Amino acid sequence: MTQTVKIVVAQLNLKVGDIEGNTELVIRSANEALESHGATMIAFPELTLTGYPPEDLLLRPSLELRINSALDRIKTAALPLVCVIGFPEKIGEQLYNSLVVIDHGSELGRYRKQCLPNYQVFDEHRYFDAGHEACVLELFGRKVAFTICEDMWE
């Protein structure tokens, strides 16, 4: 059975490198979306947790630990709506421009950006590996596909 879905798109002034501050902004914004707008889902920008563009911050050895801590903090908050959050994801030696879908503190899925721009101000091939799989989840009685920026244009 499908239900009404109210999606809030978070347009925030995120700070590059302020992972802890950006994490708190995610939690506050999700609560505000719920309280002020009755949102059932909130979508945050690409690379929300690091700010955009993170550039050489992505090369710091401590980044993975800080990102994992931020994701744990968001899950612990157990926000009562679906949150779609952009973050850099390290798997072994590979780094992805990813998003995570979290509902009531539970991770439902992840998507890794596939089309990495490398023109003008964009230099994503320098930092990221390309993902190869779709992310389609059953939410609110519907199938919902997730994507990141350039992937929609391709």
Length of the chain: 154
Phi, psi torsion values for 16, nearest 5 degrees: -60, 125
Q: What is the distance between the alpha carbons of residues 108 and 103, in angstroms, rounded to a whole number?
A: 7
Catalytic residues: 46, 113, 149
Residues 6+ apart with CB under 8 A from 104: 78, 79, 80
